Structure 1
Amino acid sequence: MRNYLKAFKRAAAVGAVALAVFSLQPGSAQAAQDRDPGARPSPGVVGGTRAQQGEFPWMVRLSMGCGGALYTKQIVLTAAHCVNGSGANTSITATAGVADLNSSSAIKVKSTRVLQAPGYDGQGKDWALIKLAKPIDLPTLKIADTAAYNSGTFTIAGWGADREGGSQQRYLLKATVPFVDDATCKGAYGNLVDAEEICAGYLQQGGVDTCQGDSGGPMFRKDNAGAWIQVGIVSWGQGCARPGYPGVYSEVSTFAADISSAAASLGG
């Protein structure tokens, strides 16, 4: 297991969020944070700017204090550490269709089932699916099924805090971060799961990163046809936007086939 005195997951304890749109649910990211004895409050997208309404229509905010993306119109792809196991679960509310979480146009749908990555033990395999009670009529985000897109510059987005130690955000923030190769990332952390994790960030100067409350959200870029494609899932890091410590993301292409099979098993 990685040393949580130094590195921690980026789920938020939403009880501390000063926005009425959030509610802490049992079996949530708070439990994931409680399992990380070294976790301390840290922030959403650091160094970001506000996303425009409709710019990333597949973005989802989850009531346990995590992000996600619409994999299908009825299934949200998020991080394994945002949920507690698999099975029936009606405690999660997904908010979609808005950049402003307080907007009266927000679409809110309850969960029905959760499927956490089989074999997840806190290290690697950080993905999960949440089935919703009904479809959301919004565009979905395609996932990468090849490592060909694991390079270049990525976009990150979320409602997490905008600085380390900050609070969760009402408005969706976005930023861009460059790919960091495995060898360099392993040099920073020492315990990277190379085949299952991908890193991104401004290694020398820091200043731009995902942070607490962004867990489970997508890291994405344009594919060869100019369409958005998801290459990562916000997972963990040391602090937020610190020089020398890039953000660590679950490598979506590694799990594409497993995610597809899991989604088929959920139906929808």
Structure 2
Amino acid sequence: MSDSFFILCLLIECVHAFPASSQVFYDSENLPQYCEPEVVNIAELVDPMINYRPEKAYIHDADRVIQNCRNCNQDLKKNDACWLGKSSKIPIKNLEISFRFNKSLQIHNITIQFCTPRPKAMRILKSVDNGKTWNNLQYFANDCKGAYNLTTNTKQKEHLPVCTDKYSQFIPLRKTIFPTLKGRPSAFKLQNSSDLIEYTSATDIKIVFNEMFFSDSERKVLPYIYGISDININGRCICYGHASRCNFNQMKKRFECVCKHNTKGLD
């Protein structure tokens, strides 16, 4: 088993399919009806990849490690276990965690539960070409201007990423929440907004911890370490209205629409 798998190994369940939506495929005149799979936590099915060797520990509270372990009890409650990046004597920069779906998905929200202080600056990125190129989805920073040369919560266009300081305080055991459509005027008519459909579509998601709190004036942390107890990526397969179910193919490590309306193909 790869080192990258350890960071979330207890959080992943062997689920093979999205639940089907309770939708009718044809109307009374036998015309095809638009249908789509339900929104689920797609991160449960995908092994995360990390660019920094992880360790694992069972955490009792914010400050005290009760048990270091490589194979923690599988019956531990989800948020009782904390997966730690390898500790460092110097501040950690640009730690990356990525998820590959091998198919276009529509991302609705991303939640990260920390068991150490949250990053001082962090980005969420997406790819639409299986990781060949990346675009920013959202910025989080204690100082948006200093970290990313962005003004806090300013949107030039509704499908562009913004920077928020809401989730970048030095407080352990807190979540970072990113609802992709919140505050975007076309969210309630998403299917009519090609810009927002493109903005929320992804074949891959990458989370980058660019900077951590480290100076004496910001409560110096030694050793320097990141800890995460849970990552949720809620979304659905993009099946273009022709499927209410989307299965995860364990052998091919990809999501596949279960097509209706005499259609076939991955999408």
TM-score normalised by the chain length of structure 1 = 0.26
For the pair shown, the structure with the greater C-alpha radius of gyration is 2
| Greater relative CO (CA pairs within 8 A, separation 6+) | 2
TM-score (norm 2): 0.26
